[in-house]
Amino acid sequence: MKPMMRQGEWLGLYVASVAVALGVSAILIRATGGDSLAVFDALIEGSLTGSGRWGLTLGAAAPMLLVALGTIVSARAGLVNIGQEGQLLIGTAFAVYFGFRIGGPGPFNLVVLLVAGSIGGALWAGVAGVLRFRRGVPEVLSTLLLVTVASQVTAYALGREWLLLASNSVGARNNVSEQLAEDNRLPNLNIFGNQIPSSFFLGVVFAVIVAFALARTVWGFQLRMLGRSPQAAQRAGVSQRSFGMRAMLTSGAFAGLAGTVMFAGGGFQFSNYKFVPGFSGNIGWTGLLVALVARERAMPAIAVAIAFGALRTGSSFVGSTGVEARVTDVIEGLLVLALLVPPAVMFIRDRRRARAATTART
Amino acid sequence: MDFVNGLWDAISTASTYQNAALFAGLLIFAASGEWVAERSGTINISVEGMLLSAAFTSAVGYTVTESFVVGICCGVLGGMVVAGVQAEMSHRLVADQFVVGLTLNILILGLAGFLDREIDLTTKTAEKVQIPLLHRIPLVGDAIFDQPWPFYLLFVVVPVSWWLVFRTRWGLEVRASGEDPQAADVSGIDVNKRRRQAIYYAGLTSGLGGAFLLFVQVGRFDEGVVSGRGFIAIAAVIFGGWTLRGTVAGCVIFALALGLRLQLPRYYEGVPTELLQAFPFLVTILGMAIFAKRVRPPAALARPFIRGLK
């Protein structure tokens, strides 16, 4: 079969499944008495065409991309880490705690924030890693359960002044950390009238690094070997325990970094440079979906993250159409579900073709 | 010392067990189906979504007809629809089961949140039915034998699950699919079909669980009614070492943690609410950490079966 035709087939499948997802969303909006075209218009205006929205979309995409990169690393090693939401929260909590404790001048403090955030996320993922490799608890489940624990831990810390609670908040609104000082924030770059947050470029740089590391380094090869066949990896001297643990820590570190970027980064305002309960805002889950849709490859994850970031920023315009903004969550879920279909269909078709080819030859 | 006294008071009041029984009911409904699915070789994490979907559809069913029976049937339907997507996508197409399950959970959460705001639902809990004599057992009598009637479906679902898996040909084939799909395939069993059917069964019991949640436990739908308890049900299966007995025991233990969480603050106020909230999840993680290594999972658990590929 010619490669052109094959690519056409891929494209056709993807277009068809996206169309089905959007069609179902439109029917749902119609059925609940909304105007589906207005909703899609609002989504596009809120994410792309509105003034300054591009920058916001990229700002929202940045943490999703970082979470996705972490997911890609762990998934390639054959681990199902699906607790990024919790790792992101704990990472941010670490960043906030050490950022305000250590202080220091702007750029130095920014580095402290990013490093502390990564360590926090890595530690939380490490808990699931230890449970997996020492106690045989499936990481699918422990990471999920740790999400709930993480949100309670951060809520606890936000209620205590010796941990995260702002010291001047007595009597005022509770459960808010101090605001990050202006010179400690991640800067924005002004391009064509859009404030593009530097966090997005950070994400892209990391995407390139991850893509290169996975495809072209010994470490990446060992990681992929572990994911494809643990037995073969074991015989070749790649210990599941130490390598899997490292993959787990890396993936947690990326989630923690994503949280820190949300806290310190500009662009889409997650919570005005303050840490609050429910800070993560489903970015961890969405980032995970980004990795899945990108089929665990780093470079496509950039494009997918932008698309999902656009859904996020677009949703703030949907309210004006009279349709509940939560509808974007539904659109997002349907899109992901639909995008799982083409690879699966292609897999089955390829097998059928291979079988037909072998029977024709004999 | 205050804490120990408070804890003792909480443990020795009947209402702790009342709450625990309700949580246990939800967990057992979900876990007994999940157990069947896992014996067939699927870790079905969309149980969370099945419960939420079922709770929502049963609320819709009740709002329209004001009948609990119709509500429960709608709940079963809601669970089965989610099961359908999970089963067909992971075991007919070969999408990764965790990916499908996770996506479904997120999609259902979004759908429930969206539709809950768009539709007005009026529901309530079903009326209580007291079992004579048995309800007089001290401490736990009321908790188990004085409950709204859908609660008693538990005493049907658990034995039926056991009977299906261990006393029917279907169950044997399900177990074979979970232990050694290659061998099962060679002996003429359609492995993926059995796995799909097992997931549909999980959808059915989770559907009952969702309806139970609505009509027995909370009475009113909101998008946070399940909030991670489906995951605890999955943990109970692992905790129980993939036996039904152990699974039910796990459900009861985790439910006691959930029930204690609600009662303890009445007797001792020193424990931070956040710790109490996290407590059942910590117990679940700890329970798995202690027991996960001592048991043997179905050999092909979470491994997709594709003929010719091992």
Find residue B128's DSSP bridge partners. Answer: B148
Q: Does B98 touch chain A (CB under 8 A)?
A: yes
pLDDT tens-digit profile of B96-127? 899 899 999 999 999 998 998 888 888 888 88
Question: Which residues, other chains included, contact B175 with Cβ-Cβ below 8 Å and sequence gap of 6+?
Answer: B39, B40, B165, B298
Residue-range domain boundaries for chain A: 1-34+323-362, 55-313
Q: Does A106 touch chain B (CB under 8 A)?
A: no
Q: Which amino acid is at B229?
A: R
Task: For residue A337, give the chain B residue with the closest CA.
Answer: B103
Kindly tell me the number of DSSP H helices and DSSP E strands found in chain A.
Answer: 14, 2
Does residue B140 register a pLDDT over 90?
A: no
pLDDT tens-digit profile of A288-310? 999 988 988 999 999 999 999 99
**B303 lies in some domain:** no
Domain range spanning residue B98?
2-118+141-294
Chain B residues within 8 A of A342 when measuring between CB atoms: none
- Verdict on whether the full-model pTM lies above 0.90: yes
Burial class from Cβ neighbours inside 10 Å (0-12, 13-18, 19+) for residue A18 reads: middle
Predicted confidence band of residue A170 (pLDDT cuts 50, 70, 90) = low
Does residue A352 register a pLDDT over 90?
A: no
Asked whether the beta carbons of B34 and B112 are under 8 A apart, the reply is no
pLDDT tens-digit profile of B162-211? 999 999 999 999 999 999 999 999 999 999 999 999 999 999 999 999 99
The answer for B 245-274 residues in CB contact with A (under 8 A) is 272, 274
Question: Which residues, other chains included, contact B171 with Cβ-Cβ below 8 Å and sequence gap of 6+?
Answer: B163, B164, B165
Round to whole Å and give the CA distance between B301 and B45.
13
Q: Does B43 touch chain A (CB under 8 A)?
A: yes
For testing the chain A interface, which of B45, B94, B114 should be mutated: the one with the most A CBs within 10 Å? B114
Cross-chain residue pair B281–A292, CB shorter than 8 Å: no
Task: For residue B239, give the chain A residue with the closest CA.
Answer: A137
Q: How far is A275 from chain B (nearest CA, A)?
A: 17
**pLDDT value at position A169?**
53
**pLDDT value at position A270?**
66
CATH assignment of the domain containing B149: 1.10.3470
Strand ranges inside chain A, DSSP E: 188-191, 194-197
pLDDT tens-digit profile of A72-99? 999 999 999 999 999 999 999 999 999 8
Chain B residues within 8 A of A80 when measuring between CB atoms: 98
Cross-chain residue pair B103–A145, CB shorter than 8 Å: no
**B52 lies in some domain:** yes
**B300 lies in some domain:** no
ipTM, 2 decimals? Answer: 0.88
Question: Reduced to 3 states, what is the DSSP secondary structure of residue B4?
Answer: helix
Does residue A173 register a pLDDT over 60?
A: no
Round to whole Å and give the CA distance between B80 and B238.
23
Tell me the average pLDDT of chain B. Answer: 90
Q: Does A163 touch chain B (CB under 8 A)?
A: no
Round to whole Å and give the CA distance between B37 and B304.
13
Round to whole Å and give the CA distance between A126 and A116.
15
Predicted confidence band of residue A168 (pLDDT cuts 50, 70, 90) = low
Query: What is the arithmetic mean of pLDDT over B14-37?
Result: 92
Chain A residues within 8 A of B224 when measuring between CB atoms: none
**B213 lies in some domain:** yes
**Which sign does the torsion angle of CA A285, A288, A293, A298 carry?**
positive
Predicted confidence band of residue B231 (pLDDT cuts 50, 70, 90) = very high
Give percent of chain A with pLDDT exceeding 70. 95
Find residue A64's DSSP bridge partners. Answer: none
User: A172-176, B69-73, B152-156: which has the minimum mean pLDDT?
Assistant: A172-176
DSSP structural state of residue A48: I
Tell me the average pLDDT of chain A. Answer: 88
Top-level class of domain A55-313: mainly alpha
Task: For residue A291, give the chain B residue with the closest CA.
Answer: B99
Say how many residues make up chain A.
362
**B177 lies in some domain:** yes
Position with higher pLDDT, A72 vs B262 = A72
Question: Reduced to 3 states, what is the DSSP secondary structure of residue A97?
Answer: helix
Cross-chain residue pair B234–A292, CB shorter than 8 Å: no
Find residue B147's DSSP bridge partners. Answer: B129
Cross-chain residue pair A135–B292, CB shorter than 8 Å: yes
Q: Does B286 touch chain A (CB under 8 A)?
A: no
**pLDDT value at position A118?**
96
Minimal Cβ distance to A156: which of B45, B232, B274: B274
Chain B residues within 8 A of A324 when measuring between CB atoms: 114, 117-118
